[in-house]
Every structure is written in structure tokens, then in C-alpha cells.
């Protein structure tokens, strides 16, 4: 069966919305056409699905019929886990998945706690004469998550090197994002000033990362087995499951860049929106603060079992899933449900739109963490399908770093809410889609400033 959808002419009426990014037009198209829609972008249609059963068919059952469409990201992430496909991806996933299993991630708890404490202490030094601290929440969350991920990856080698890596990555992402937003796909071979800056940053990034790798290989010669292990150690120690060979220097470089990029921006934006939600819902912030009052934040096992914190986490990621849009290109004709998918077309789902589907969620736009309290009264409000809550994607290519993301989220939110009260600066603007800048992750369109008061 063919997918319904607007004609190439009819789709033009959604274009005025497109200046705010793809989210607003997509929301409007789904509102008008429903859960299954073919969007006829000129020469390159998108086959879009919103319902859990189609998401399962797309990301789980038919995973083998797709390849990634991240050609731009490949320019600097190389062939790491996110950008690779087929047998190369399968081999990498086998090697990398164990690095993010519970016990390994638990080993990073101390670094996360220290960085959250460091953030709280530094913010306190910026208080004004009345004791209030006004801060740009996205900026601070990007900083703390970058510090955490670089410490987990390269432990003590941080500071100047970590900061330079971050600057270079930001430069390159700006170029990629400018390309994604531009209506013209300028070929990567055209030497525009933006591309030249990108290439220069890429060369320097490679030098910095290869220097780190080589220094670590050298340091290993004089290390004892009992020395601490970070993710770079684990990468260098890992072996190809079939050949038993260690990962090549280039593969280690590609995974390092992948971990930094994937593990930093996503968690930072999950935290940004969660803190914004708590600041604008004082009763919910209060409920969480009551739970945190006597909790020892240095105990990972306690922190990971706090019910209200967990509800806030699930609800914040429902309302603002940082990866708001997931797309693949079909490599052979097949069906999703009864719908025909030809070879070579783009197929997509949006965690954001599924998480706000009123057929699945009661009051989908409200921040109501208690909907996840597991009580019998509220159980009926949670969709039965586990494919209705998909901030980490789903199926074989779901997020490998989820346990690390959860721990980072809990550690930072718990620390800030235990030490400070939180409020918005100048009230909250209405209308979510207009506050969101939907790039690879959903970012705030304008800086969100919040106010903390030490307790
Ligand atoms: C709240 C934080 C995070 C969110 C919302 C998130 C979300 C996602 C999503 C939706 C995907 C699947 C994308 C797709 O199917 O195209 C993904 C994949 C991935 N994520 Fe995350 N992520 C987060 C944190 C992390 C962290 C902390 C790391 C590691 C340091 C990480 C590493 C990866 C990798 C390597 C993949 C590719 C997996 C594969 O293709 O096999 N992510 N993530």
C-alpha cells in the first residue's frame, strides 16, 4: 500500500514553518495527515511513521534493510559506531557494548560526582550580593557533560587538551549544522571559507587525538595491571571478535570522536530541558528536593534507586528527547506494516512526536513525572508498548551509552537540586516548538537563564 501524504504542490504550504527547522513543519504535516505520511521533498521524499508498531517494524524487524544517512557526520566521525553500517558496525558493536555495561559505567561514578560538585561550587562563586546565581543553563550543562565524558575517556589527560578538543568539535559541528540548515547542499569538494575552517579544525583534531593515543600506548609500557582504566584504555585493550587483532589506530581515533560527540551534547540537552522544566514547575522541584533531603549523593546505588528522580528523568526525556529525529536510507524494497517502502528512500521516525502523541499519552504536553510512579491508578496512562518511549532509539542500533547517560543525568540533577532552589528568570515562554531549535539534538532557540539560590 502507498503511504498517504500531501502532493509536491500541497507540501509547499508547510514551508513557511520550515524557517524554524524541520520540527514545526513535520508536526503540522502529522497533525493534518496522521501517523503515516509520505512527505514529497523535491527529489528526496521522506517516509514518516509515528506509531509504536511501525517504529518497532522500522528499527527492530527491518533494521537489516537500512543504512545510516549520516554522510556529513562521517567527515569527522569517520567509521565509528554511530556512522558505520553492516558487518563493520556489527563487529564494532560487539567490542564496544561491554564498555558501557553497568559495572564498567559504575566505575565512572566518582568522576561524575566530582564534576557535579565542582559545578555546584563554581556556580556558588558567581552569586550576586543577594546570594542569587543567574546562569545560562545550556552553556553550563555542555561544559559539565564535556568534562565528564572526557574524564571517563582520557581521565587525567583533561584540561587544556580537553578544552581544545571541545573547541574544535564545536567549530566542526557549526559547519555541519549550517550545512544541514541550508536549503542548498553545497558539495563537500567546494572550497568555501566554512569548509576550509572545517578542514583545518579536522586536521588539528586528528593531531590532538593521535597524540593522546600514542602517549597512552607509550605510558602502558610502564604501567601495572592495577592502574585505573578509562575508556581509552578499554579501546586500546580491545580485540576484534573474529581476528583477535587490536583495533587500528584510526579505529580508536574514530571511536574517541564518536564517544565525545555522542556522549556530550545529548546528555547536556537532556539536563538543560530537565532543569528548565523543574524551574518552571516548583511543586515538582519541591517533591524532588524532599526526596533528596537526606540522601548521600556519594552512593551510586542509593542515587540510582530514587523513585522521584527516576520519574523526573523519564518525564523530561519524554517531553524533550534530545535526539528528536531518527532517519535511515532503505537498501532494499520491503514493507512497514502494510506500507510499501521502495529501495533508496529516506525513512524516519521522531521520538519527540511519538512522545507527544495524544493517542498514546494523557495530557502529552504537560510535565507530570508522577505518571511514571508505577502505581495502579496511573498505570493505565502509560502506553503498553515499550516502543512509545524511545529517547535512546530502539532495536539493534539503540544507544550503547544509555547507562552512562542515566548516571550523568541523575548525578548532576541530584547535586543541583540538593544544594539550590531553582527558578526561571522572567517567567517561561509558551509554545514548545517555538522554543526549540531542532538540529541534531533539540537545543533552546534562545539562551535559557535560570536562577539558583543556595539552600
Ligand atoms: C541522554 C543522553 C543520550 C541520548 C538521548 C542518546 C540517544 C541516542 C539515540 C536516539 C541513538 C540511536 C540513533 C539512531 O538510531 O540513529 C544513540 C546511539 C548511540 N549513542 Fe547515544 N544518547 C545519549 C547518550 C550517549 C552517551 C553518554 C554515549 C557514550 C558516551 C552515547 C553513545 C552512542 C553511540 C556510540 C550510539 C550508536 C550506537 C549504534 O549505532 O550501535 N550516547 N544515542
pLDDT, tens digit (0-9, with 9 covering 90-100), for 3-39? 999 999 999 888 776 667 789 889 999 999 999 999 9
Dist. CA 119 → ligand 1 center (Å): 24
Using CA of residue 221, residue 225, residue 229, residue 231, what is the dihedral sign? positive
User: Coil, helix or strand for 399?
Assistant: coil
Q: In the structure, what pLDDT confidence band is assigned to residue 150 with cuts at 50, 70 and 90?
A: confident
Determine whether the shortest distance from the Cβ of 280 to ligand 1 is under 6 A: no
Q: Is 352 in the pocket of ligand 1 (CB under 6 A)?
A: no
Q: Could you tell me the pLDDT band of residue 448, with boundaries at 50, 70 and 90?
A: very high
Can you give the pLDDT at residue 128? 93
pLDDT at 179 over 80: no
% pLDDT > 70, the chain: 95
Instruction: Using alpha carbons only, give the angle 197, 198, 204 rounded to the nearest 5 degrees.
Output: 90
The answer, yes or no, to whether any atom of ligand 1 lies below 6 A from the CB of 399, is yes
Q: Which residues contact 424 (CB under 8 A, 6 or more apart)?
A: 276, 279, 280, 450, 451
Interval 133-152 mean pLDDT: 92
Taking the centre of ligand 1 as the mean of its atom positions, its distance from the CA of residue 398, in whole angstroms, is 7
**448 DSSP assignment:** P
Element of type H or E holding 420: strand 420-424
The class (CATH top level) of 10-454 is mainly alpha
In the prediction, which pLDDT does 138 show? 94
Question: Mean pLDDT lowest for which of 105-119, 191-205, 226-240, 420-434?
Answer: 420-434
The alpha carbon of 428 and the centre of ligand 1 are apart by a number of angstroms equal to 29
pLDDT band at 363 (very low <50, low <70, confident <90, very high): very high
pLDDT surpassing 70 at residue 157: no
For 55-98, the pLDDT digits (tens) are 999 999 999 999 997 777 888 889 999 999 999 999 999 999 99
Beta-strand relationship, 46-49 and 346-349: parallel
36 bridge partner residues? 49
Nearest residue (by CA) to ligand 1, atom 19, is 399
Sign of the C-alpha dihedral computed for residues 61, 104, 296 and 117 taken in this order: negative
CB of 82 shorter than 6 A to ligand 1 = yes
Q: How far is the CA of 98 from the centre of ligand 1 (A)?
A: 15
The residue contributing the CA closest to ligand 1 atom 39 is: 397
What's the CA-to-centroid distance between 24 and ligand 1, angstroms? 24
Q: Which of 262, 326, 390 to mutate to test the pocket of ligand 1 (most atoms within 8 A of CB)?
A: 262
pLDDT at residue 351 tops 80? yes
Do 249 and 131 form a contact (C-beta atoms < 8 A)? no
Confirm if 3 and 45 have CB atoms less than 8 A apart: no
Amino acid at each position: 500500500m502507498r503511504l498517504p501524504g500531501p502532493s509536491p504542490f500541497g507540501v509547499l504550504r508547510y514551508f513557511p514553518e520550515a524557517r524554524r527547522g524541520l520540527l514545526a513543519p513535520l508536526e503540522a504535516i502529522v497533525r493534518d495527515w496522521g501517523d503515516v505520511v509520505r512527505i514529497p521533498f523535491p527529489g528526496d521524499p521522506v517516509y514518516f511513521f509515528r506509531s509504536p508498531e511501525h517504529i518497532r517494524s522500522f528499527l527492530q524487524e527491518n533494521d537489516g534493510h537500512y543504512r545510516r544517512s549520516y554522510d556529513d557526520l562521517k567527515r569527522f566521525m569517520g567509521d565509528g559506531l554511530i556512522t558505520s553500517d553492516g558487518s563493520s558496525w556489527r563487529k564494532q558493536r560487539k567490542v564496544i557494548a561491554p564498555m558501557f555495561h553497568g559495572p564498567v559505567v559504575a566505575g565512572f561514578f566518582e568522576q561524575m560526582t566530582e564534576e557535579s560538585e565542582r559545578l555546584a561550587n563554581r556556580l556558588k562563586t558567581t552569586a550576586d550580593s543577594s546570594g542569587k546565581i543567574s546562569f545560562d543553563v545550556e552553556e553550563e550543562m555542555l561544559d559539565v557533560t564535556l568534562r565528564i565524558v572526557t574524564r571517563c575517556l582520557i581521565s587525567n589527560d583533561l584540561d587544556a587538551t580537553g578544552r581544545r578538543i571541545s573547541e574544535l568539535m564545536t567549530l566542526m559541528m557549526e559547519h555541519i549544522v549550517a550545512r544541514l540548515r541550508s536549503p542548498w547542499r553545497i558539495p563537500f569538494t567546494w572550497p568555501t571559507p566554512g569548509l576550509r575552517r572545517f578542514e583545518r579544525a579536522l586536521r588539528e583534531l586528528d593531531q590532538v587525538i593521535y597524540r593522546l593515543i600514542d602517549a597512552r600506548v607509550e605510558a602502558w609500557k610502564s604501567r601495572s595491571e592495577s592502574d585505573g582504566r578509562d575508556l581509552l584504555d578499554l579501546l586500546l585493550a580491545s580485540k576484534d571478535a573474529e581476528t583477535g587483532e587490536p583495533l587500528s589506530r584510526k579505529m580508536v581515533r574514530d571511536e574517541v570522536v564518536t564517544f565525545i560527540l555522542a556522549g556530550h551534547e545529548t546528555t547536556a540537552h537532556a539536563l538543560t530541558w530537565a532543569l528548565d522544566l523543574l524551574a518552571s514547575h516548583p511543586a515538582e522541584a519541591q517533591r524532588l528536593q524532599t526526596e533528596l533531603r537526606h540522601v548521600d549523593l556519594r552512593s551510586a546505588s542509593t542515587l540510582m534507586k530514587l523513585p522521584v528522580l527516576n520519574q523526573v528523568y523519564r518525564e523530561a526525556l519524554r517531553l524533550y528527547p534530545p535526539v528528536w529525529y531518527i532517519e535511515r536510507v532503505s537498501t532494499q524494497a520491503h514493507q512497514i506494516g502494510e506500507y510499501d517502502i521502495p529501495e533508496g528512500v529516506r525513512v524516519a521516525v521522531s521520538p519527540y512526536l511519538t512522545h507527544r502523541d495524544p493517542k498514546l499519552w494523557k495530557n502529552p504536553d504537560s510535565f507530570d513525572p508522577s505518571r511514571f510512579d508505577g502505581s495502579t491508578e496511573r498505570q493505565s496512562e502509560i502506553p503498553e508498548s515499550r516502543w512509545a518511549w524511545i529517547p535512546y532509539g530502539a532495536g539493534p542500533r539503540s544507544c550503547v551509552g544509555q547507562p552512562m547517560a542515566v548516571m550523568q543525568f541523575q548525578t548532576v540533577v541530584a547535586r543541583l537540586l540538593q544544594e539550590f532552589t531553582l527558578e526561571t528568570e522572567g517567567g517561561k515562554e509558551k509554545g514548545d516548538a517555538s522554543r526549540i531549535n531542532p538540529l541534531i539534538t533539540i537545543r533552546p532557540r534562545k539562551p535559557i537563564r535560570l536562577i539558583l539560590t543556595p539552600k
